[in-house]
Amino acid sequence: MALSGGAADRGSHSMDKSITLPPDEIFRNLENAKRFAIDIVAKVRSFDHSAKETDGDPLYEISVQEEITARLHFIKFENAYIETCLDFIKDHLVNTETKVIKATVDKEDEMTCLIKGCNFVLKNIPHEAFVYAKHADSEFRFQNTHPDIFPYLLINIGSGVSIVKVEAEDKFERIGGSSIGGGTFWGLGALLTKTKRFDELLQLASKGQHTNVDMLVKDIYGGAYGSLGLTGDLIASSFGKSATTDKEFSKEDMAKSLLHMISNDIGQLACLYAKLHNLTRVYFGGFFIRGHPVTMHTITYSINFFTKGEVQALFLRHEGYLGAIGAFLKGAEEDNPNQYSWEENYAGSSGLMSASPELNPVQRARSGTFDMLEMDRLDRQLVNLPLLQDPTSYIPDTVDLTEDALAREYWLYCFEDALDGVVKRAIASQKDQPEAVERAEKFRQKYRHKVQTLRHQPFAYGSLTVRSLLDTREHCLNEFNFPDPYSKIKQKENDMALKYYLKFGFEQAKQQLQERPWLVDAYNQWIERLKLSSVLTGNSGPALNDVTNSELQILTERIAAMDPVIHAALKEDRLALVQNGSSSPCLDLSRLDKVLATVVRERGTDLVIIEGMGRAIHTNYYAMLSCESLKLAVIKNSWLAERLGGKIFSVVFKYEVPSKAQGQH
């Protein structure tokens, strides 16, 4: 069931009778939810250009102002808990002075909402789709966001099964289906086991052994049927042994056999329709899936068997929210939500859970927990960098910590160990606000909980990377109104840098670096290539001590007043300043400001310089571009330097020229 509440903060709400959470543990601005939520972001206040600076006066000021930001909140709940849902609305969504809620309910087509929701998450949430591999080192293998999500096949498994071919944003067709679906599993399961609750039935299946009930190929032929390509462990007849064996079967075994039977049937149907319509992307959703490992494994096995590995079964991290998201989008069409890009807010979203005992020893009970999704609307559309050699294969992150256990443990420890310093810096950035200490402590608790969750469930928000750890920290800081903890530090350091700009040159700076040859050294080739007409891009929002685009505008104007070369470049439009759309220390080249992409095309950009450890080492170190690229960084982490074969403060100067013949660097 989906519930839409408020004018813009709409969602589906999930709760259990045994759980009571205070509003600030669910999502922000709950009691006064209107069309927009209020957040705090960093703004740069410019200066009087005609004023003469005096010694000791700052060259620019940074102030923090409030800005209206659109945010979507979704909470899932089961229909069985409708009473608790109504209590939740009464306690948290209604102002204390409000006595009556007037509501208008517009009936929307369920399938239309489902498809709209599916399109939305596939376009806006990286690592939304995943392949489930039960016996692999990493259970969950997340897919990169594809530049074009169409066409695809959606297998929606509710009470029955609907098979939908989706060709465009508003073009889809139900091409098939089956009456044998989740309702069949639930109904027959209840008759066989006397278990009435769906989750309990899945728990029984997870403990069962289907071979005690199912007749296998080897039970008939004594082994494999090689000439037909049938292995001995293949199910020849679901529940086949129950007719010939005179004994009682356990509830667990019967539930497991039933789950296999339903999943195999659905998998075969999906394969037939995928082949018939020549589709290779097949997504599974609906309440039958529920992120349950046994269900995903049986469907994956079925798809692999019937297509011989040509088609992968893809699942969605947020499949339970699709209808609610689609209903919101239908209700907000007047605002054209598709003109914006959106991003998942890790601070306000629940993670993907697993019942695998080695990964999550706590027994999973989805109906007894809050499942939440929070999405922030960005002020700009994000698109691929046009210079990516192959956008479909681009992976921004250098190391996937989900698969690299040693690196994962190091970075989780590193971020947890740095937490005290971040808290102190956050408080120092808002010394004039007495409640800053309390908010900083809430940030500490929230982020520590996130890190501890990722230690046990590294797949919770997709592939775990240094970038996602940094982004999660930024989201948590913003949740407690610390949008730019480095604001005063940046102001002080930039003020000092501007004062000494003409006194400290490039050659002096180079003398402070590691002696050549560097860890990665293409300096000589670069000098031969050097010629400049450039676009300088900075972050749209604050992250660590990185200079934002709005700060960059002021700094560049100040430098231009001192440096005739920079002044001429600006005046002749040979130097353009454009924001990149990011608010992260790292950089995802598949999610850049659309204006920046347009400028890159119009200017015929033939060289990309990526600078900094976050942008050039943690991300994009292996990024393949269709033009020349220069990746620059000083490695300020000893563990990372050693892993790359260097020492602390090693220099990376990686100049790459793509091969014209092969399109390779």
Note whether residue 433 is domain-resident. Answer: no
User: What's the confidence (pLDDT) of residue 453?
Assistant: 92
Within a domain: 312? yes
Residue 503 in domain: yes
Residue 633 confidence (pLDDT) above 80: yes
Those residues whose C-beta lies under 8 Å from the C-beta of residue 522, and which sit 6 or more positions away, are 630, 653, 654, 655, 656
- Same domain, yes or no: 279 and 360: no
For the ranges 34-48, 123-137, 495-509, which has the lowest average pLDDT?
34-48
The residue out of 335, 356, 379 marking a domain boundary is: 379
Question: Torsion angle of alpha carbons 439, 445, 446, 449, nearest 10°?
Answer: 180
pLDDT tens-digit profile of 121-145? 999 998 999 999 988 878 899 998 7
Predicted confidence band of residue 357 (pLDDT cuts 50, 70, 90): very low
DSSP letter string over 292-308? -HHHHHHHHHHHHHHHT
Give the whole-angstrom CA distance, residue 610 versus residue 617. Answer: 10
Report pLDDT for 72. Answer: 83
Are residue 496 and residue 586 in the same domain, yes or no? yes
Among 33-42, 74-83, 498-507, 615-624, the range of highest mean pLDDT: 615-624
Specify if 296 maps to a domain.
yes
Give me the mean pLDDT over the 392-405 stretch.
Answer: 94
Domain identity same for 342 and 310: no
Assign 7 a pLDDT band (cuts: 50, 70, 90). very low
Domain end point (choices 316, 334, 361): 316
Instruction: Kindly list the distances between the CA atom of residue 362 and the CA atoms of 136, 195, 366, in Å, as whole numbers in the listed order.
Output: 21, 22, 12
Q: Which residue has the higher pLDDT, 363 or 244?
A: 244
Query: Are 79 and 201 in a shared domain?
Result: no
Answer yes or no: do 100 and 183 share one domain: no
Contact 481, 28 (CB under 8 A): no
Residue whose entry in the numeric block shows the structure tokens 């903890």: 485
Residue 208 sits in the same domain as residue 301: yes
Q: Are residues 336 and 310 in the same domain?
A: no
- On the question of pLDDT at 26 being above 70, the answer is no
Report pLDDT digits (tens) over 326-339.
888 887 776 777 78
Tell me the C-alpha distance between 72 and 446, whole Å.
20
Instruction: Pick 168 or 55 by higher pLDDT.
Output: 168
Please report how the helices 549-562 and 564-571 are oriented relative to each other, as an axis angle in degrees rounded to 10.
120
Q: Is residue 408 a part of any domain in this protein?
A: no
Residue 41 has pLDDT above 60, yes or no: no
Closest CA to 133 of 304, 253, 267, 288: 304
Name residue 227's beta-bridge partners: none
Q: How many domains does the chain have?
A: 3
CATH number for position 602: 3.40.50
**pLDDT on residue 31:** 47
Three-point CA angle 459, 344, 23, nearest 5°: 100
Strands (E), 304-347: 312-316, 342-344
Q: What percent of the chain has pLDDT over 90?
A: 59
Is it true that the peptide bond before 517 is cis, omega within 30 degrees of 0? yes
3-state secondary structure 615-638: HHHHECCCCCECCEEEEEEECCCH
Q: Which residues contact 182 (CB under 8 A, 6 or more apart)?
A: 157, 158, 159, 160, 198, 262, 286, 287, 288
Tally of CB atoms within 10 A around 171: 11
Q: With 80 as the cut, is the pLDDT of residue 85 above it? A: no
pLDDT of 643 over the 70 cut:
yes
- Which of 379, 405, 426 is at the close of a domain? 379
Are 183 and 95 in the same domain? no
Q: Are residues 328 and 300 in the same domain?
A: no
Domain that holds residue 179: 172-213+249-316
73 domain-assigned: yes
In a domain, 134, yes or no: no
Clarify whether residues 647 and 515 are in a common domain: yes
If pLDDT is split at 50, 70 and 90, which confidence band does 182 have? very high
> What CATH number has the domain bearing residue 278?
3.30.420.40
Residue 274 placed within a domain: yes
| For residues 99-115, average pLDDT | 68
Whether residues 312 and 324 fall in one domain: no
Clarify whether residues 200 and 289 are in a common domain. yes
pLDDT mean across residues, the chain: 83
> Is pLDDT at 39 greater than 70 in this prediction?
no
Paired with 653 in beta bridges are: 521, 632
